[in-house]
Chains A and B, each alone.
Chain A
Amino acid sequence: MITKSLTELSTSLKAGDFSSVELTQFYLDRIAKYDGELNSFITVTEEQALAGAKAADEQIAAGTAGALTGIPMAHKDLFCTDGVRTSCASKMLGNFIAPYNATVVEKLNAAGMPMLGKTNMDEFAMGSSNENSYYGAVKNPWDLERVPGGSSGGSAVAVAARLAPVATGTDTGGSIRQPASLTGITGIKPTYGRVSRFGMIAYASSLDQGGIFGTSASDCAMVLETMSGFDPKDSTSVERDVPNMSASLNDSIKGLKIGLPKEFFGEGLDSSVAEVVNDAIEEYKKLGAEIVEISLPNTHLAIPSYYVIAPAEASSNLSRFDGVRYGYRCEAPVDLTDMYMRSRGEGFGTEVKRRIMTGTYALSAGYYDAYYLKAQKIRRLISDDFKKAFEKVDVIMGPVAPETAFKLGEKTDDPISMYLADIYTLSLNLAGLTGMSVPAGFSKNNKMPVGLQIIGNYFEEAKLLNVAHQYQQVTDWHKQAPSAYTGGE
């Protein structure tokens, strides 16, 4: 069952090999069996999942089912789900039952996908290791002593351990690509504006973008084309037709121009990661691609720029969590200031508070020009770098992260070294481009998975998925799963 693609699952459901209720129960059982130690889910919504599956079975029986009908999935716990706790992995929202569905959730519900539950993450999507969760760290299924990456670590692990066929994630600075890379699955972050942000709890509004994790590019394509599209409720979503992303998967990539930015292969890149990435590029050459060396000269400015813009926006976005209308409120406040200070002081975790403070500082009178405005200028330079590059190449490739999954606790006391984990992923969010991580092998040092990053021009998700799918036709890295959770099946 767990080796089937979404297309195969859909075919089986329609053929009556098994029902959606059986399939959904199968995954619920796996979650019950394995998630105790992985901790990839914050909330398992068994009742809703089975109700959704039953409805899907009725649609299948009535012949009105679509391609995804009956296939269960999971949502990152920052997508609002009507009537279900949506915590953002924060104590602040530990009691928050969302009164509405995010547009993404609404679309996937409408497609007939039962929701298995809400996945763990770094609190308010702030983190690169999934250790910043009020609900505890998520473990990497390839090695329980290692992190799965973040912030969408729960979704990545749920898919990697085959506890869900697909799961949504969000990517503000690498939060889909980096955990996908560290857990050996496929994940795509679409172009900014491709997927509605309505109902996605905002971290950094100008960078946040919803996306999807799956075990293959073709699975991601099926879900992404359903999630995408203009949403009148999100003014930053783009009015642009969504192509059939599955239809172009098998297009030939002969003559494809792949740009390799020299800044992505310099100092700081682990040699065992570089080796895997280089092997993948060799594979592309065999597929007829042409390699072009390029430069993204402002890459080194991505981290400082991101760590001004994202916290600045976050400091404002998180102001609504004040203990007044919903969420955590401290015990027995003596006055308004006390209520604000203790509710927020007790409700937010360390990393969230750190970023709120950083962002508040960056926006303060007297510092705004030096930090926020300058960061925005750098952002434009970074976008220009990519623009120039895409005049010469079709896609850009490189590593997703400088190293493989690190040990739990290894970087928790050193935020700067943690921030460096996103060095290859951040610049693309600043530019608003689409990017993905594709499993490309394992580090010879620690046997942990390594992802290949593919970066595409604006709204070229279909092209990226096509490029990834062609690779997955000639390799089987994406089919490899952590045996502790998949061995017997």
Chain B
Amino acid sequence: MEWETVIGLEIHAQLSTNSKLFSGSSTEYGQEPNTQANIVDLAMPGVLPVLNTEAVRMAAMFGLAIGAPIGRGNVFARKNYFYPDLPQGYQISQFDKPIVELGHMDITLENGETKRIGVTRAHLEQDAGKSLHEDFAGMTGIDLNRSGTPLLEIVSEPDMSSAKEAVAYMKKIHELVQYLGINDGNLAEGSFRCDANVSVRPKGQKELGTRAELKNINSFKFVERAINIEIERQIDIIEDGGAVVQETRLYDPDKNETRSMRSKEEANDYRYFPCPDLLPIEITDEFLTAVKAILPELPAAKFERFMNEYDLSDYDAGVLTASRETADYFESVAKACGEPKLTANWVTGELSSHLNNDSLEITDSPVNAEMLTGLIKRIADKTISGKIAKEVFQALWAGEGSKDESAADKVIESKGLKQITDSGAIEALIDEIMANNEGQVEQYRSGKEKVFGFFVGQVMKASQGKANPAQVNELLKKKLS
């Protein structure tokens, strides 16, 4: 039988606010346990939540970016359950009135086609604290630093039909939230994590199969693996005549398997009801206008613009808009030097391979945008050849020159790398090489044009690479003929 997979994702993106969703405590990661939990985060008797409007602004940015209506009069609700790292005994979340309503996200499939994935909703909620089971024999430690940190839960429609599509969607959301500056994109620290709802059904069947929810997966690689292994598991069960149970499962990356956490029967009744401590959030037209004004150019729009404005290939435009920082870097160099094509080649080529080798982010590049601008200007005005430029770049990467546009010039000057464009000087070199290689001159003249390359190489070598290659070509042709 042929099977069809149906996948929906719930992504939890931690919003990059300075303070928590309902208290003034810092959200900084990695601090000493319980140093970032005030009386509100500890749910002391009598305390009350006060909404961090910055989180609302960020959620609204996300909504606008996915073309969704921003909930007017959206309401916070309490999701009630007991857990030691949930101090209130309820999570303040949103239930039937989320801040972001139906939107969408386009992904590119492997065959190059575009598929539109529906984003059902996105809502604001508090994160819980952490239970620490190690280090306390027979007991559990509670760290409430994360308690109350704002999350945007982004829920997709069950529109994805393979693990690859799910990852493509997750990456697009990941890219978007970072573009918007509302999430730090750090999967390892749990700032961006995902639950996947997976079900299978015979191809062509209309109704959905029973789904399993894979909880808390925090890498793209694991999402793909977990979904694939879960699809296999479900198909095996059905083909063996069994039935998939609706349950929550956990992916174990070490064993590459999913295992049951709890079944539907054991699932909590969360007893959602509107939180009486908070008023409905009023989203005014003025507020939305202000959010629109600060909305950065989005990846898709930037991609289109880069292709049109800078005449880039869709590959280059894709690479350069994959992150906002890369796009900003490219654009600042391209504008300053007036050579977008050359800039694109350098950013996607030399710069990105150096960054990869040293595992650096573009924002930490030793060669900043001004330095690269200076370098590209010298290639464009033929002060140096492309080959010499790589040597200069290497020097800049190693910290030579200065941190501004004059850096390349300083390196060219100090290393004497300036291109030779004096025809007389080049002719002198050619004459000498021709005199020393009469045999090859003969060969060329008798029709063996392949040896032309030999002469180019010799001239470049003699000039230590500094002779202008175009001029070398032109003069060689003249002299050899």
Which residue numbers of A lie inside 8 Å of B, CB to CB? Answer: 78-80, 86, 88, 93, 96, 98-100, 102, 197-202, 204-206, 232-236, 312-313, 315-316, 318-322, 324-326, 336, 340, 360, 363-365, 368, 372
Contact = CB atoms under 8 A, between A and B. Distances in A.
B82 A340 contact: yes
Interface stretch (B86-94, B183-191, B225-233): B86-94
Given A316-B89, A324-B87, A363-B273, A233 B48 contact: yes
Nearest to B269: A365
B50 A100 contact: no
A201 B273 CA distance: 20
Contact of B88 (A99, A100, A233, A319): A319
A102 B51 contact: no
Interface in B16-58: 39, 42-51
A96 B49 CA distance: 21
Given A202-B46, A205-B276, A325-B42, 9 more contacts: A198-B46, A202-B45, A205-B277, A235-B50, A318-B89, A319-B88, A325-B87, A363-B273, A365-B271
5 contacts: A98-B45, A202-B277, A316-B273, A320-B45, A320-B89
Contact of A319 (B39, B44, B82, B278): B82
Dominant secondary structure of chain B at its interface with chain A = loop
Nearest to A197: B48
Given A102-B46, A201-B45, A205-B277, A316 B271 contact: yes
Contacts of A318: 89
B80 interface: yes
B46 A201 contact: yes
Interface in B129-154: 142
A312 B80 CA distance: 11
A235 B48 contact: yes
B271 A93 contact: no
Contact of A372 (B48, B51, B273): B273
Rank and list the top 9 A-B pairs by shortest CB-CB distance, nearest first. Answer: A319-B89, A205-B276, A363-B271, A206-B276, A199-B46, A201-B45, A320-B43, A80-B46, A201-B46
A86 B276 CA distance: 23
A363 B279 CA distance: 20
Contact of B44 (A326, A363, A365, A372): A326
Contacts of B42: 325
Interface of B: 39, 42-51, 78, 80, 82, 84, 87-90, 142, 269, 271-273, 276-279
B50 to A, nearest CB: 6
Contacts of B272: 363, 368
Nearest to A366: B269
A326 B276 CA distance: 24
Tell which of A99, A233, A235, A368 has the most Cβ of chain B within 10 Å. Answer: A235
Contact of B48 (A79, A93, A234, A340): A234
B48 A363 contact: no
B277 A235 contact: yes
Contact of B43 (A96, A197, A325): A325
Tell which of B45, B47, B49, B80 has the most Cβ of chain A within 10 Å. Answer: B45
Nearest to A204: B276
B276 A313 contact: yes
A324 B142 contact: yes
A325 B51 CA distance: 24
A86 B49 CA distance: 20
A204 B273 CA distance: 13
Given A200-B46, A233-B48, A233-B50, A100 B78 contact: no
B78 A316 contact: yes
Nearest to B268: A365
Nearest to A93: B45
Contact of A322 (B39, B49, B89, B276): B89
A364 B39 CA distance: 29
A336 B83 CA distance: 9
Dominant secondary structure of chain A at its interface with chain B = loop
Given A235-B51, A319-B82, A320-B87, A86 B45 contact: yes
Nearest to B42: A325
A78 B45 CA distance: 9
Contact of A100 (B44, B51, B273): B44
Contact of A232 (B43, B50, B271, B279): B50
Given A99-B39, A205-B277, A235-B279, A198 B80 contact: no
A16 B80 CA distance: 56
Given A93-B45, A198-B48, A316 B80 contact: yes
B142 A80 contact: no
Contacts of A233: 48, 50
B95 to A, nearest CB: 11
Contacts of A340: 82
Given A202-B46, A233-B48, A324 B273 contact: no
Contacts of B87: 320, 324-325
Contacts of B279: 235-236
A122 B381 CA distance: 87
A99 B39 CA distance: 8
A235 B49 contact: yes
A281 to B, nearest CB: 36
Nearest to A79: B46
A236 B277 contact: yes
A312 B39 CA distance: 24
Contacts of B276: 204-206, 236, 313
Given A313-B276, A316-B78, A320-B88, A198 B47 contact: yes
B278 A235 contact: yes
A355 B326 CA distance: 58
B84 A324 contact: yes
B273 to A, nearest CB: 6
Contacts of B271: 315-316, 360, 363-365, 368
A325 B140 CA distance: 13
Contacts of A319: 80, 82, 88-90
Contacts of A98: 44-46
Tell which of B51, B90, B272, B277 has the most Cβ of chain A within 10 Å. Answer: B277
Nearest to A360: B271
Contacts of B278: 235-236
A96 B43 CA distance: 13
A106 to B, nearest CB: 12
Contacts of A368: 271-273
Nearest to A313: B276
Contacts of B46: 78-80, 86, 98, 102, 198-202
Tell which of A197, A324, A326, A336 has the most Cβ of chain B within 10 Å. Answer: A324
B47 to A, nearest CB: 7
A339 to B, nearest CB: 9
Nearest to B80: A316
Contacts of A88: 45
A105 B227 CA distance: 55
Contacts of B39: 99-100
A371 to B, nearest CB: 11
A199 B40 CA distance: 10
A206 B44 CA distance: 19
Tell which of A78, A96, A102, A199 has the most Cβ of chain B within 10 Å. Answer: A199
A15 to B, nearest CB: 38
A224 to B, nearest CB: 20
A96 B45 contact: yes
B262 to A, nearest CB: 14
A80 B271 CA distance: 28
A275 to B, nearest CB: 39
A58 B89 CA distance: 45
A235 B279 CA distance: 7
Nearest to A372: B273
A326 B84 CA distance: 12
Contacts of B82: 319, 322, 340
Contacts of B273: 312-313, 316, 363, 368, 372
Contacts of B142: 324-325
B459 to A, nearest CB: 77
A465 B315 CA distance: 76
